[in-house]
Structure 1
């Protein structure tokens, strides 16, 4: 499993291991000398292949549409995925010791190396150039993975890594509305990573949107414009069915993270600053960011901090005041990375709800503001024009955002149900039916198929009845559109192939009769 690091994997050419000299690329002796530079598990993987089946998990099976059973894949498809995982692992081992692409090609295309069987199979079936292109793609992904990889030796090391990532998140300036939204999404992934016990974790888009308290559309925009380009997140595998996507949190380069740029909308009326006029020489935000992301992670999914509620700016200010109380406006602008005008508006609104206090030039959180209670201590009395809120739910009611999270979860549940139905239709190899309009109403006209059966053959529980005996036929079931579907572990044919096989069998039976 890859783990993040901050050290590049390349080493000077003089210190690179010599896997095999150019004049003897297939010599077994020189190749074995190169294998000696690899760790023993990596050398065994190259020479003997995956003997323990470590890289075969999930290659030869897949989750059924019901989400409870596992169906087998075709042998060729499973072997190809298994071979690809072995090839990727070897590429990562070579990159980790400072090898090169040419050395990886020599290892994989050596006729005696079992670990390169997948690459040699591609060369036999599709040609040498196609195999070399495949190895180059694998090498590019391996270089990207290893360049941000760190070996985790113990559970304490994992906790230290997540703590370092949390510290960097809290001390990185997140400017603008999109930057603050990206912080909420990143904090949601950090919550998932802490639950999973490492930077590698699984999460779907709907799950992340509910955790961050935003919509899926906003979530995707943040992924593509902020988090992925800046190197905070990597999607290792796209989710399918009931399995969420596989994500990886990485520390990356501090320079990449500090250079967070928010993509502005097209056709904007604002112009960039002019250096000749000394405009915006030093940004007022992001000079000394310091927030408590734990408080942010607990409050960001509440309805009170939805888009039309208090919003992300108030959430950043509350997190900054909780990390360091008694801040002036200038200090709060720098620590929360919120602009001056937005800070004034947010503080005025929070003060009206009794969540912050103003003592001279400093601001501080009201007692128990984290729990959403804007009550004042007995020694302090609120102003006459101030109506302190009794909790976050009351704030959401005042803002008109109450029920936003519940409606979002209901929408996601409906989308999941529709998605599961679509997966079941694909599992049944069903084709699209034709819909015509007759007398002002739509009429479903199923496509003509040779394997369509009469209603007398259909059992109530979805099984197929044998017309000769009247009993249920083993290994067959009825699809919801009234067509026979054969279910066996080894049968992975498409609907058209099943129909063609039925037609051929019927023709042979009639000719024999």
Structure 2
């Protein structure tokens, strides 16, 4: 409605119309809390929708969507991701870009567990980079929190914030132990360049492997490998600029990769060894001390060498157990039904909602698992007690959704209050 040029008044008429399916929630609010609360809710929704269309792009075809994603990938690859947190944010953002490419546009669905497995990081680290890097810098926005079997709804941004520059949050990646001294011209320019140049496709393919966890080769190796794959034969000074990795970390990472035979240098330039992207190194004698570095025999062997083998598998197993426990809880909640008292007033039946309709006293429990009628003392044929001590209505006709049950309860509550 907002993108089509409608007004909040037209939206209100649609949502409050009794035959409009999309307005069920707004009508429930009006029924439970009054018309003014429903109008406030609609105005908040309209403001959110107006803000969303001002920061998103209307895509009329799948071809346009892929053009937008290609431009976004180029921007990601040329943006400097400084520090360990910045490189971790790059992995998470690349995971979301993978999901967006599958979905066919910036709007996509993904759960936190799914993204953590794709990026090769923990959920705790994932949430940190969401809140400190990606969301504040305009790279990612969560439009809807996931529930049940549905993941959250995300929208990929272009990394720009209205009224801020590209380096608005640069201080997050710099030490603040000693403040800068303008007289000494400190912190006027970063060590790394203002633009990067990496191949994020390579990064996206390797980042989920155990060999690139924090305690193994790490994110710095991922970025340096991606930079060398795009532009071979780079010096350390050039790598510092293209990978946005500090000089000291670049030297340490190159030595670690060289020990596995994954990179080689000729004079001052470095390049990837043959089959390095598959994790296979080569024998290269070290000119400094004469020893021969043990070549890698695949990414699995690299992970075993660093003691990180099996981390991804254990993370997936943990997430699978969490999903199963969560689904079991949802299944128990979906079984809950509330039983209301029915009275006859002026020749018509009125439902009386109880304060806690989902709880039953222990004296109502029958030995056969059914519910004892407190009036007659006999078991009710249409009711039984769930494993958590709550009522379940097993009548085949009770196939209403949660929204329908909530609307019926609100209607019963309003009718009871009017009768009382």
TM range (shorter): 0.7 to 0.9
Residues 126 and 174 (structure 1), Cα distance of their counterparts in 2 relative to 1, 3 Å cut = same
Q: How many residues align?
A: 366
- Asked if the contact 1:452/1:483 (under 8 Å) is kept, the reply is no
- Alignment of structure 1 residues 183-202 onto 2, 5 Å: 183-202=90-109
Partner of 2:276: 369
Whether contact under 8 Å (2:211, 2:217) holds in the other structure is yes
Measure the CA separation in 1 of the matches of 2:92 and 2:100: 12
Shift of 1:265: 9.6
* Pick aligned residue for 1:211 from 90, 95, 118: 118
Structure 2 matches for 1:356-505, cutoff 5 A? 356-375=263-282, 384-429=291-336, 448-455=361-368, 476=383, 478-481=385-388, 484-487=391-394, 488-490=398-400
Do the aligned residues in 2 keep the contact of 1:239 with 1:246 (CA within 8 Å)? yes
Q: Give the equivalent residue in structure 2 for 1:321.
A: 228
Match of 2:342 in 1: none
Counterpart secondary structure, 2:146? coil
1:427: how far off? 2.4
Q: Give the corresponding residue for 1:348.
A: 255
SS of structure 2 residue aligned to 1:273: coil
Shift of 1:286: 3.2
Find the aligned partners of 1:125 and 1:479 in 2 and give their Cα distance: 29
State the alpha-carbon separation in 1 of the partners of residues 28 and 385 from structure 2. 39
Q: C-alpha distance in 2, partners of 1:429/1:456?
A: 15
Return the offset for 1:276: 1.8
Match of 2:5 among 94, 99, 119: 94
Deviations 1:107-148 (A, max 9, x none): 456xxx546646799779866764554344223212321112
Does the 8 Å CA contact 2:120/2:207 hold for their aligned counterparts? yes
- Counterpart position of 2:180: 273
- Residue 91 of structure 1 and its aligned partner are, at CA, apart by 3.1
Residue by residue, what CA displacement relative to the aligned partner does 1:455-485 show, whole Å, maximum 9, x if unpaired? Answer: 3769xxxxxxxx999xx95x65552246541
Q: Is the 8 A contact 2:65 2:105 kept in 1?
A: yes
Name the Cα RMSD after superposition. Answer: 3.4
Q: Give runs of ≥4 in structure 1 deviating > 6 Å.
A: 119-125
In 1, Cα distance between equivalents of 2:298 and 2:28: 64
CA contact (8 A) 1:478 1:484 kept: yes
One of 86, 90, 112 as aligned partner of 1:179:
86
Q: Which of the numbers 157, 162, 167 marks the counterpart of 1:259? A: 167
> Which residue matches 1:508?
none
Aligned to 2:72: 165
2:87 alignment partner, SS class? helix
8 Å CA contact retained: 1:91, 1:138? no
Query: Does the 8 Å CA contact 2:337/2:393 hold for their aligned counterparts?
Result: no
Cα contact 1:232–1:249 (8 A) shared by 2 = yes
- CA distance in 2 between counterparts of 1:177 and 1:286 reads 16
Q: How much does 1:401 deviate? A: 0.6
Work out the CA distance in 2 between the residues paired with 1:291 and 1:248. 23
Q: Distance in 1 between matches of 2:124 and 2:183?
A: 39
- What per-residue deviation string (whole Å, max 9, x for no partner) do you get for residues 363-387 of structure 1? 11111111111125xxx76763311
Equivalent residue number for residue 418 of structure 2 = none
**CA 385–254 in structure 1, closer or farther in 2 if over 3 Å, else same:** farther
Tell me which residue corresponds to 2:415: none
Using the TM superposition, give the Cα deviation of residue 418 of structure 1 relative to its aligned residue in structure 2, in angstroms.
1.5
- Relative to the length of structure 1, the TM-score reads 0.64
Where structure 2 has 5 or more consecutive residues not aligned to the other structure, the ranges are: 18-22, 339-358, 372-376, 410-420
